[in-house]
Structure 1
Amino acid sequence: MQAADISTLESVALDATRDAAVAAYAWVGRNDQDAADAAATSAMRAALAEAPGRGTVVIGEGEKDDAPMLFNREVLGNGHGPDFDIAVDPLEGTSFSARDLPGSLATIAFAESGTMWSPGPGFYMDKIVVSAAAEGVVDLDDPPETTLAKVAEALGKKVADLRVMIMDKPRHEELIARVLQAGAAVQTPAGGDVGGSLAVLLPDHDVDLLLGVGGTPEGVMTAAAVRALGGGMLGRLAPQRDEEAEAIRAAGMSLDRIYDRDELVAGDAFFAATGVNGGALLGRPRVGDGMTITESLLITRGQIRHITHTTFD
């Protein structure tokens, strides 16, 4: 993509996440995550319909959760401009939104056409995310104790000084116990896969690595941000049900292959997010007095931008 195209698409991505965040915010605390997801999805689809060019949704969110969705292979845009790939989660952290807990985001990533990995029927993947300083030292086949030692050495720290992000899920009970036993500190949010990865990448957050199994849509979006900032990431499909594993095998895909950052997203990419419920990463929309104020994050090649945007009614 040309520089002018990228600049325009960055604006489209920010508009899409802002619109989705504001639409979802109307449902915050109403204990109806499907309605919030549907509102965010509808708003994001409308914004993306105005994008210059043709954007193909390589990976969406709804199929995993049987939720409203921007579906795989859906084509969006006005057709007048470049082709590009899209990875999307209009409302990441739907349960946070439903219960008005901090951490939900409207998220999207764009990449050059044909460069985003498609996991087919694979909804979950095992991941490691590290900052640029530890890029290239980790291996998904390593036990967690070895991973901690390698990352600590790369960062010039002791294992006891590391802070590790692992989602608080039953599948992670042993992993969390082993990381704690090794001496590292653990942050265990109930969800927020993308937000957890961003905490590793952003310099103003005290997190050294992310471990564990999360969603593949979140993984591809994370890879776009990791690639833009030169961090390290590895992923491997990790089905959580027998039927998911069978579908992956039927599609001719391997359950053993490890994908690195540049296989998950092989071309220039950028990532955008807007806060829905507020939290350490981004504040929630502020609506009133004839205006709406949103907080967004745009990650492009080597650059992190925090953007506060005001829309007047």
Structure 2
Amino acid sequence: MHRTAQRTRTDVRTLEAIALAATHSAAIASRAWVGRHDKNAADAAATEAMRQVLADAPGRGTVVIGEGEKDEAPMLYNGETVGNGCGPDFDIAVDPLEGTSFCAKNHPGAMATIAFAEPGTLWSPGPGFYMDKIVVPPRAKGVVDLADTPERTLANVAHALGKPINRLRVVVMDKPRHQELIARLLRAGASVHTPAEGDVAGSLEVLLPTGDADLLLGIGGTPEGVMTAAAVRALGGDMLGRLAPQREEEAAAIRAAGMDVDRVYTCDELVGGDALFAATGVTGGSLLSRPRESEGAVLAESMLISSGQVRRIAHTGAHPNRGGIR
């Protein structure tokens, strides 16, 4: 469900600096917990650091989708407002530390992430925590359907990309719920990458020209889904999503909220206006390097996706777009 949009249009590009500052601060804060096998502490550190930056954001931001409800997560809960009020209104989707287990165990793939959009344009999943997703690059836009079998999806994407199925690289999270899906993809001849978590990172591997995947399938979190949709919209790819409750309590709450678990949402329904996505590396990997000491400062690498462009930024300060964007 979308909230009513404001009449005055917000140029989200004016928020690039605060998005980068937020993910940078979260990444540096969680860095102290890398390898300490305490994912909750790492997540809390990232969230608090990001919240402090957002408190000074120019304008008024509304967290449409965060990591927890107010009673369970005192920071960046759904519906919370941030900012100094002196500037544009904007929507926020946030996961201060994607890959908490990766951070705790010092495995590649953890990063701080956030998405900003025009006010009233981010889809709110209400009490839905999980969603089924398909993400494809721009060349495969319009050829996928959540009603298709995995085999038909592979065939359609392979045809659109001009390659045989046995050259397709598919990202599916390594979860018990995906055992049959993974088996069918393998039997069809595709190569399947199965990270333990991190479907935003998996989607970026699909979307980026330098990425190492052609397709993402499977069930992941709704915050990650909305943030992914922001990147998909900015880069011209394609995405479909559908609520996929994993427990009866979640399904009952969705029904009580008047939402339809069978409805398929397009990317433009998940993000209905201009949006940007930002991420900063925490433990390194193929997308972003880990923060490192450099001449007495901590140098971090971030990625900014906005207006059809992907920019990589190496920075140490709170406002990294004051130089260093390339």
- The match for 2:126 among 120, 124, 134 is 120
Question: How many angstroms does 1:63 deviate by?
Answer: 4.3
Question: How many angstroms does 1:161 deviate by?
Answer: 1.1
In 2, the alpha carbon distance for the partners of 1:142 and 1:63 equals 34
- 8 Å contact from structure 1 (residues 162, 208) kept in 2: yes
In 2, the alpha carbon distance for the partners of 1:119 and 1:283 equals 32
Say whether 1:56 aligns with 2:62. Answer: yes
- 8 Å contact from structure 1 (residues 59, 87) kept in 2: yes
Name the SS of the counterpart of 2:261 in structure 1.
coil
In 2, the alpha carbon distance for the partners of 1:36 and 1:68 equals 15
- 8 Å contact from structure 2 (residues 158, 165) kept in 1: yes
Alpha-carbon deviations, 1:259-289, whole Å to 9, x = none? 0000000000000000011111101111354
In 2, the alpha carbon distance for the partners of 1:234 and 1:158 equals 23
- The match for 1:206 among 212, 231, 251 is 212
Alignment of 1:154-233 (within 5 A): 154-233=160-239
Question: How many angstroms does 1:196 deviate by?
Answer: 0.3
Alignment of 1:8-27 (within 5 A): 8-27=14-33
Question: How many angstroms does 1:290 deviate by?
Answer: 1.7
AA of the residue aligned to 2:139: A
- The match for 1:136 among 123, 128, 142 is 142
Say whether 1:151 aligns with 2:157. Answer: yes
Alpha-carbon deviations, 1:120-159, whole Å to 9, x = none? 0000000000001111110001000000000011111111
Question: How many angstroms does 1:115 deviate by?
Answer: 0.2
TM-score (norm 2): 0.92
Name the SS of the counterpart of 1:137 in structure 2.
coil
Question: How many angstroms does 1:310 deviate by?
Answer: 2.9
- 8 Å contact from structure 1 (residues 116, 220) kept in 2: yes
Question: How many angstroms does 1:193 deviate by?
Answer: 1.1
In 1, the alpha carbon distance for the partners of 2:9 and 2:252 equals 41
TM-score (norm 1): 0.96
AA of the residue aligned to 2:67: E
Map of 2:90 onto structure 1: 84
CA distance 1:133–1:15, shift in 2 (3 Å): same
Alpha-carbon deviations, 1:79-115, whole Å to 9, x = none? 0111100000000000111111110110000000000
Name the SS of the counterpart of 2:272 in structure 1.
coil
CA distance 1:89–1:234, shift in 2 (3 Å): same
Say whether 1:255 aligns with 2:261. Answer: yes
In 2, the alpha carbon distance for the partners of 1:15 and 1:100 equals 23
AA of the residue aligned to 1:59: I
In 2, the alpha carbon distance for the partners of 1:72 and 1:243 equals 19
AA of the residue aligned to 1:34: N
Unaligned runs of 5+ in 1: none
- 8 Å contact from structure 1 (residues 41, 68) kept in 2: no
Alpha-carbon deviations, 1:162-210, whole Å to 9, x = none? 0000011110000000000001110011111100000000111221000
In 1, the alpha carbon distance for the partners of 2:227 and 2:80 equals 17
In 2, the alpha carbon distance for the partners of 1:278 and 1:301 equals 25
- 8 Å contact from structure 1 (residues 140, 234) kept in 2: yes
RMSD: 1.6
Report runs of 4+ in structure 1 exceeding 6 Å deviation: none
Unaligned runs of 5+ in 2: 1-7, 319-326
- 8 Å contact from structure 1 (residues 196, 210) kept in 2: yes
In 1, the alpha carbon distance for the partners of 2:56 and 2:317 equals 18
Name the SS of the counterpart of 1:62 in structure 2.
coil
- 8 Å contact from structure 1 (residues 134, 231) kept in 2: yes
Map of 1:238 onto structure 2: 244
AA of the residue aligned to 2:162: G
In 1, the alpha carbon distance for the partners of 2:214 and 2:74 equals 34
In 2, the alpha carbon distance for the partners of 1:78 and 1:110 equals 16
In 1, the alpha carbon distance for the partners of 2:69 and 2:109 equals 22
- The match for 2:314 among 303, 308, 311 is 308
CA distance 1:7–1:227, shift in 2 (3 Å): closer
Aligned positions, number? 310
